[in-house]
Amino acid sequence: MPEFVLTVARFGFLILLWIFVFTVVGVIRRDLFAGGRSKSIVASPRGVGGAVLQGRPAKAKRGKAARQLVVTAGQLAGTRITLGEAPIAIGRAEDSTLVITDDFASARHARLVPREGQWFVEDLGSTNGTYLDRGKVSGPTPVPLGVPIRIGRTSLELRP
């Protein structure tokens, strides 16, 4: 066998070996980015248009009823809750309406209660406190639209 053929075989094998490695990596890569899980498996909410999803300027408006509670920051960012007549419990406890897995949140941290069309936020004796915009919530406080409620690292807003 001529030396040339042997050299080609020797390096050819090594090159093929590395091509195999990169092909495998390519398959893994396609696997990683194939199909975003669960994005569209949950149906889009009733009566919520795309415009609302984009987030409005945080401007307090009176007179308009709040229809949604939106998480704007924290681990659950993007979660929305359609508001009804029932109060909303927020905390780390499993039976809360909005379960926050945040080190700075208490098991039963705060509660949102509707009264005659206006939502009130109420701190339930949490360790680290609930803040409405920059003020600490001590008693039931009316929540205007678009004003952030802060609980630990999580931030919530009422939206029409």
Q: Contacting other proteins (CB under 8 A), which of 66, 72, 88, 106?
A: 88
Residue type, 107: A
6 binds other proteins (CB under 8 A): yes
Sign of CA dihedral 84, 90, 92, 93: negative
d(CA 136, CA 149): 10
Choose between 83 and 132: whose C-beta lies nearer to other proteins: 83
Q: Got the DSSP string for 10-62?
A: HHHHHHHHHHHHHHHHHHHHHHHHSS-TTTTTSPPPTT--HHHHT-------S
Choose between 83 and 137: whose C-beta lies nearer to other proteins: 83
Binding mask 7-26 for other proteins (x = CB under 8 A): x-xxxxxx-xxx-xx-xxx-
Please report, as ranges, the residues that interact with other proteins according to CB under 8 A.
1, 5-7, 9-14, 16-18, 20-21, 23-25, 27-28, 31, 34-35, 38, 40-42, 44-45, 77-86, 88, 94-99
